[in-house]
Amino acid sequence: MNIVAIILARGGSKGLPNKNILNFCGKPLIAWTINNCLDAGIRSVWVSSDSDEILQIASEYGAKKIKRPDNISGDFASSESAWLHAINIIELKLDQEIDWVIAPQVTSPIRDAKDIMNGISIAKQGEFDSIFSCSPVEDLFFWESDKKGVLNSINYDWRNRKRRQDINNKYIENGSFYVFKSEIIKKYNNRFGDKIGKVDMDFWKMFEIDTKDDFKLCEAIMKEFINK
């Protein structure tokens, strides 16, 4: 089974400039994701970026480089377009079709190699064609405000509130990583296919970095739960 990891890391970031290569707990943020993939036993780890600086740092930590074109590097470019571009490049270089893609997110560094290993194990069972990482949650009730400012419950009926033990399991798609067959994204231009599975992660691994406060929070979690 040919498994590759494709890590997307654009150079531009409005919320937190250069966030993909900021020093996070002693090394560039992107290094944690590269190390996770390598430690999970993935031999073919690639970073796709429009930034030469990011690609150089990625190379220093053991990843192979893919220079992403500007037309799929902007704010409105989809992750799918970058994954497809990377898949085409990798298959040409390896002269071999990719079976499964592991697609971790740099800005979700709160994970272990074992989380990715769990995703690979589920993929190898053959039941699913696409898998997402998630955080199981309890008592998660969503409300939304309409145009008039009136609040309405979304995923439960507040008039008939169930007991905790009677509520169905809920999962947050935490975005830490995705696992999908190469043929699925080629066919649907989507990371999800017809048979979707999940990888459960600890709830505290659901946090991701978009702002300075996120960065500080994730550093604190990393130091307390993982590096410790």
| 23 sits in which H/E element | strand 23-24
From 68, 159, 161, 164, active-site residue: 161
Q: Which residue has the tokens 């429009």?
A: 50
Is 10 a residue of the active site? no
The gap from C-alpha 87 to its chain's centroid, in whole angstroms, comes to 17
Q: Which residues contact 43 (CB under 8 A, 6 or more apart)?
A: none
The gap from C-alpha 79 to its chain's centroid, in whole angstroms, comes to 10
Dist CA 218 CA 209 (whole Å) = 7
* Residue burial 178-198, b: 16+ Cβ < 10 Å; e: rest: bbbbbebbeeeeebbbeeeee
Dist CA 224 CA 114 (whole Å) = 18
Catalytic residue positions, numbered: 161
